[in-house]
């Protein structure tokens, strides 16, 4: 089997490996899924252009988000019940984000407490 190379590949892999209830939770949206459809449509308007033979040795992706430094212009969005995906899911995600210099946003329906997440990602905003 080839390694996943796109978001669609990862989705298909997850669909094959996860229990249906968990896959449907991750893959779906709330209520009528209108926001999910709107987000997909908006993202679909972007066209990424491949560039080859380009020197990327001096690329700097750092930025400032809400007054704090970040290694990429990204924030790890909140996802409720991350503990269904991994033991202490929110704490693991916050730690990974802190190690990579990417902010993490804790869901109001997280499994881990704010205090546990803060212990795992010291110094993170």
Task: State residue 93's pLDDT score.
Answer: 93
Alpha helix stretches (DSSP H) within the chain: 7-17, 20-27, 34-44, 89-100, 114-120
Whole-model pTM: value is 0.73
Residue 125 has pLDDT above 60, yes or no: no
The pLDDT confidence band at residue 26, using thresholds 50, 70 and 90, is confident
> Helices in 18-113 by DSSP H: which ranges?
20-27, 34-44, 89-100
pLDDT on residue 61: 95
pLDDT at 124: 63
Percent helix, strand, coil in the chain (nearest 5)? 40, 5, 50
Give the three-state DSSP class for 49.
Answer: coil
Please compute, for residue 91, the number of CA atoms within 13 A of its CA located in the half-sphere on the CB side: 13
Q: Are 98 and 104 in contact (CB under 8 A)?
A: yes
């Amino acid at each position: 089997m080839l390694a996943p190379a796109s978001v669609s590949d990862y989705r298909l892999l997850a669909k094959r490996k996860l229990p249906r209830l968990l896959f449907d939770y991750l893959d779906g949206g709330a209520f009528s899924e209108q926001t999910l459809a709107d987000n997909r449509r908006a993202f679909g308007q972007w066209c990424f252009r491949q560039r080859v033979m380009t020197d990327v040795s001096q690329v700097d992706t750092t930025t400032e988000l809400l007054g704090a430094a970040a290694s990429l212009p990204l924030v790890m969005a909140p996802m409720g019940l991350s503990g269904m995906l991994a033991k202490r899911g929110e704490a693991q995600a916050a730690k990974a984000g802190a190690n990579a210099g990417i902010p993490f946003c804790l869901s109001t329906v997280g499994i881990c407490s704010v205090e546990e997440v803060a212990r795992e990602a010291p110094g993170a905003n």
